[in-house]
Copies of this chain bind each other. A is one copy, B any other.
Amino acid sequence: VRVAVLGASGYIGLELVRILLRHPRFELAVVTSEQRAGVRVGEAFPALRGLTDLVFESSAGAAKLGGRAELAFVALPHEISAPRVRDLRKAGLRVLDLSGDFRLRDPAAYARWYGEHHAPELLGEAVYGLPELGREAIPEAQLVAVPGCYPTSALLPLAPFLRAGLVAPSPVIVDSKSGVSGAGRKLDETYLFAELDASVHAYNVGGVHRHVPELEQVASGLAGEPVRVTFVPHLLPIRRGIATSVYAQPRRPLASEEARRVLAEAYAREPFVRVLPAGATPRISSVRGSNFCDVGALVDERTGALVLLSAIDNLVKGGSGQAVQCANLLAGFEETAGLLEAPFLP
Contact = CB atoms under 8 A, between A and B. Distances in A.
A78 interface: no
Interface string A268-308: 00010010100011111111111010100011111101010
Contact of A239 (B230, B284, B346): B346
Interface string A138-158: 000000000000000000000
A202 B345 contact: no
A185 B192 contact: yes
Contacts of A14: 345-346
A280 B345 contact: no
B200 A241 contact: yes
Nearest to A14: B345
B271 A345 contact: no
A234 interface: yes
Interface string A176-220: 010111000111110111111111111101110000100000000
Interface in A29-71: 45-51
A247 to B, nearest CB: 5
A194 B11 contact: yes
Interface residues of A, number: 93
Interface in A226-270: 228-230, 232, 234, 236-241, 243, 245, 247, 249, 256
A135 interface: no
Contacts of A18: 342, 344-345
A305 B346 contact: no
Interface stretch (A80-88, A125-133, A167-175, A324-332): A167-175
Closest 6 CB pairs of A and B: A199-B285, A201-B283, A47-B286, A47-B343, A194-B346, A230-B305
18 contacts: A18-B342, A22-B340, A46-B276, A48-B342, A51-B340, A177-B200, A186-B192, A193-B197, A194-B346, A199-B241, A200-B238, A202-B245, A203-B281, A206-B256, A230-B247, A232-B307, A237-B238, A289-B344
Interface of A: 11, 14-15, 17-18, 21-22, 45-51, 170-171, 173, 175, 177, 179-181, 185-189, 191-203, 205-207, 212, 228-230, 232, 234, 236-241, 243, 245, 247, 249, 256, 271, 274, 276, 280-290, 292, 294, 298-303, 305, 307, 309, 311, 340-346
